[in-house]
Amino acid sequence: MYEKHLAWGVLFRIFHWAFALSIVFLVVTGLYIHFPWTNSVIEGSRSFPMAEMRYIHFIAAYCFMGAVFLRIFLWFFGNRQEKFWDSAPITGRNIRNLFSTITYYLYIKDEHDRRLGHNCLAGTVYIVTIVIAFFQILSGLYLLFPESTFWQGVGLSIFGTQQQARFYHFLTMWYFLIFVLIHLYILIWNDIRDPEGLISSIFCGKKFFEKGALDNK
Ligand code: HEM
Ligand code: HEM
């Protein structure tokens, strides 16, 4: 007998897809800005590929910023699974779940605590990801508004010169690329091992559990 539970609200799913899709555009256009792959002779004659790529980068960047702020809002005002303290390693329940997940992922144990929200290992990585995204926004806004004294103050104190900030901005892109690869691998691995409908939950919000299997404490 399986029970159906709502894990993710609508705002959370909107955040997820705004974040995921904007990252695809940001990485592609960012790579172009870093290493333009078209012939520079056409720039300003037949078309403006760099200007267009930068324009798309900035539109995606505003979508990305909206998603990150929405996620931070949900840390405090989302449903139980979406809240910061449901998955951060700051309570006894979460720390026990962290070790239970690690032993399960290392094939040391066959069983692990079932919970409706993220397991604590995933939750911790997601929190780190949002913090890194926040710094990516700061370096991006510093690069975007080099003439603003406010962003000069923020940028110079955190990243140093414009060129250093651009380099950190570029390096951080690799974090997101590697995150996506591991994210997709672990999602598919979990979806095969546990019949709870993990992947479909990010579309419909619901997960499935055998009666009584859920750690609801
Ligand atoms: C086909 C593509 C994708 C699918 C099916 C998918 C699915 C999911 C699922 C099921 C979760 C919840 C997992 C859990 O409970 O631990 C999740 C969370 C998350 N995904 Fe994805 N994802 C996809 C692509 C991406 C991409 C491209 C990114 C961007 C880097 C991304 C970023 C995230 C983040 C940050 C979270 C955590 C949300 C939070 O609690 O803060 N995902 N995803
Ligand atoms: C996951 C998010 C992001 C990724 C992966 C990303 C990636 C990149 C990359 C690879 C570059 C080229 C850096 C170089 O020349 O070496 C770049 C440039 C830039 N990005 Fe981002 N970016 C992201 C978010 C943002 C955000 C939120 C903003 C804020 C507005 C932003 C604004 C800029 C600006 C202004 C530049 C410089 C453009 C230029 O030099 O003409 N980016 N980005």
Percentage of the chain surpassing pLDDT 90?
85
Across 33-42, 73-82, 106-115, 208-217, the highest mean pLDDT is recorded for 73-82
pLDDT in tens, 28-79: 999 999 999 887 788 888 889 999 999 999 999 999 999 999 999 999 999 9
CA of 217 to the centre of ligand 1 (A): 25
For atom 26 of ligand 1, the residue with the nearest CA is 20
Residue 169 Cα, ligand 2 centroid: separation in angstroms?
Answer: 6
Specify whether the CB–CB gap between 29 and 60 falls below 8 A.
yes
- For helices 120-144 and 92-105, angle between their N-to-C axes, nearest 10 degrees: 100
pLDDT for 198 equals 95
Q: Would you say 145 and 151 are in contact if contact means Cβ atoms under 8 Å apart?
A: yes
Average pLDDT over residues 194-204: 94
CA dist list (Å): 171 to 11, 72, 121, 164, 166: 30, 23, 24, 11, 9
Answer whether residue 17 shows pLDDT above 80: yes
Give yes or no for residue 213 having a pLDDT over 70: yes
Give the ligand at the shortest distance from the Cα of 82: 1
pLDDT-based confidence at 124, cuts 50/70/90?
very high
pLDDT of residue 43: 82
Cα–Cα distance, 196 to 40 (Å, whole number): 51
Domain 2-35+47-210 top-level CATH class: mainly alpha
**Ligand closest to the CA atom of residue 62:** 2
Rounded Cα distance between 77 and 67, Å, is 15
- Average pLDDT over every residue of 91-120: 93
Reduced to 3 states (helix: H, G, I; strand: E, B; else coil), residue 34 is helix
Ligand 1 atom at shortest distance from the alpha carbon of 127: 41
Question: What pTM does this model have?
Answer: 0.94
What tokens were used for 59?
């539109």
- Residue 217's pLDDT band, with cuts at 50, 70 and 90, is low
Residue 21 Cα: closest atom of ligand 1: 27
User: Which DSSP string do the residues of 153-192 spell out, in sequence order?
Assistant: HHHHHHT-SHHHHHHHHHHHHHHHHHHHHHHHHHHHHHHH
Question: Which pLDDT score, from 0 to 100, does residue 216 have?
Answer: 65
Ligand 1 centre from 126 Cα, in Å? 9
Looking at the predicted structure, is the pLDDT value of residue 214 above 80? Answer: no
Dihedral of the CA atoms 90, 94, 96, 98 (nearest 10)?
-100
Task: Identify any residues that bridge with 208 across adjacent strands, giving them in sequence order.
Answer: 4
The answer to whether the Cα torsion of 207, 213, 214, 215 is positive or negative is negative
CA pair distance 56, 66, nearest whole angstrom: 16
Nearest alpha carbon, ligand 2 atom 7? 30
How high is the mean pLDDT of the chain? 95
Q: How does DSSP assign 64-90, residue by residue?
A: HHHHHHHHHHHHHHS-GGGSHHHHSTT
Residue 38: predicted pLDDT: 86
